[in-house]
Structure 1
């Protein structure tokens, strides 16, 4: 592919499809442009017509793939790999939402088939807050890394802004906060420290037919021990999370998606000078993600989450969910 504008087509007009489409329209058209969107829901397509009238609404997934240089798959998880395989078979790039699949064996087969011809949308790959953590770590401010702690919590699940997706997002087959949220923080451990392994976990599903309401786990990222906890109902916040890396001389952490902090010798936590809430940080990360998508579509090196990284995360996530507490 030449350096012409990369045409991105979107399959799935839910929250994430709409979010990325809005981000594409904010970018320099010489880099990327939206060539079309499709969703099987007529209601979703009517919403796209009202919100993004200039973006073509295409008739099916095949039409999106045909129009695209790179296909962004933002449909529910069980459909991800079908669309991804169709895109790659047509010679197009694939950029998809996590998880790759809810079927680990199928995801392994896909990654083996696809090689480096796709990437997954883990925005921490483009986060300025994560860059601040990495800088502190590289400068030796925490000393020798010793452990990672991850905590996530929600007032309710799904979160209020996800209410339209409750039909799958609160079902154990495809949904739940471990797939939707915890996966991001496992990716962060994988990206900054190393491969994930040696899992021991429990997951609680108190209501029949609904997704998990609590998890606990221990595992390792590279050589470091990781502790993980997540629960619905234990916080007044819609969405609360902390990822912390502790060393023998200090610690750094990421709070509520976008606030990088380091622990000072007196025990207090100091935010990064450019720390900002997620509402302000998200557009900046999405811009960098789309720059990576353009490189992916052109066959160039990129910084996006690789298929191999996404598979590593998915294997841990599905293993956690399989450890149902009795």
Structure 2
């Protein structure tokens, strides 16, 4: 028996998950829905067997697992509708943009007791799994902190242009979309982080998202995490997280490419694969099947996603949230 799945939200992330669920032996996408009918048609062209539901409620009713790839604000209502029907829920990140609303979401879903997780794409990946094992074994030495660097010529990036909400401060921006992944990774290695200071700059007199961000956070052992992000200038995308140890440091570039340094140049831990995103998504789906079956898994919990959201929204506001 495969896991019958509904996908709500059929932008780039929804269609990408649809494609990879269709390739995975444990999942069957039985229903899809998006308020934009053209998005539904584009998704159905990828997997003709996926049925376009009449509305979100019909999609939820048709499946045992609901994957929510819609923008953050409507996600809570769909997640609770699914959970109240006993459906498993897999949410895209960020968990939300309003901290109080997300606290309530986590409390309600936890009380309902359904399987639930958030799609931080590195959670089940080889890089995080191996770095965590290296940290626990002592291979890295004392954990000194982490550096997060993201730079883009343009935001949103070319492949995100259809998701227009990503360019606005209300729900979008690189801090929510990219830095959040590396904060999640950092907390898995260093433990809970506290914000010390932050600044995010947005274009004046506009509702657009941040173009520059800087922040300093600290772990319980005193390890410091620094963030630097910027948009603008002729340059390739740069997305790097460096976990710094006294013996060995690890650098994760573009989410998946893992390299190590003992003080010299960073050297790849393993050979590149032709499609690292496909490998990562396969690992996420393997663990999603474990989650639905009630088995141990590496996916991001709701509590972990809430902690990351609190950090992100605090960074964007320049204020540490209680």
What TM-score do the two structures reach when normalised by structure 1?
Answer: 0.92
C-alpha deviation, 1:198, in angstroms: 3.2
Structure 1 unaligned residues grouped into runs of 5+: none
In structure 1, the residue corresponding to 2:51 is in which secondary structure? coil
Structure 2 unaligned residues grouped into runs of 5+: none
Check whether the contact 2:169–2:207 (CA below 8 A) recurs between aligned residues: yes
> Could you report, residue by residue, the CA deviation over 1:94-139 in whole angstroms, capped at 9, with x for unpaired residues?
1000111111001011112222631000011111122332343344
In structure 2, the residue corresponding to 1:45 is in which secondary structure? helix
Q: Which residue of 2 aligns with 1:209?
A: 207
1:228-243 mapped onto 2 (5 Å cutoff): 228-234=227-233, 236-237=235-236, 239-243=237-241
Among residues 42, 63, 66, which one is paired with 1:68 in the alignment?
63
Does the alignment pair 1:12 with 2:37?
no
Among residues 142, 150, 159, which one is paired with 2:140 in the alignment?
142
Q: Distance in 1 between matches of 2:244 and 2:37?
A: 49
> Could you report, residue by residue, the CA deviation over 1:122-165 in whole angstroms, capped at 9, with x for unpaired residues?
01111112233234334433211112111111110000000111
Does the alignment pair 1:225 with 2:220?
no
1:256-271 mapped onto 2 (5 Å cutoff): 256-265=254-263, 267-271=264-268
What TM-score do the two structures reach when normalised by structure 2?
Answer: 0.93
Q: Distance in 1 between matches of 2:152 and 2:44?
A: 32
Q: Distance in 2 between matches of 1:149 and 1:69?
A: 40
In structure 2, the residue corresponding to 1:268 is in which secondary structure? coil
252-261 or 226-235, which deviates more: 226-235
Number of residue pairs matched by the alignment: 314
In structure 2, the residue corresponding to 1:124 is in which secondary structure? coil
C-alpha deviation, 1:8, in angstroms: 1.2
135-144 or 72-81, which deviates more: 135-144
Check whether the contact 2:66–2:90 (CA below 8 A) recurs between aligned residues: yes
1:175-324 mapped onto 2 (5 Å cutoff): 175-207=172-204, 208-223=206-221, 224-234=223-233, 236-237=235-236, 239-265=237-263, 267-276=264-273, 280-323=275-318
- Structure 1 runs (4+) deviating above 3 angstroms are none
C-alpha deviation, 1:310, in angstroms: 0.1
1:48-59 mapped onto 2 (5 Å cutoff): 48-59=43-54
Q: Distance in 2 between matches of 1:46 and 1:170?
A: 25
Superposed CA RMSD in Å reads: 1.6
Q: Distance in 2 between matches of 1:70 and 1:270?
A: 40
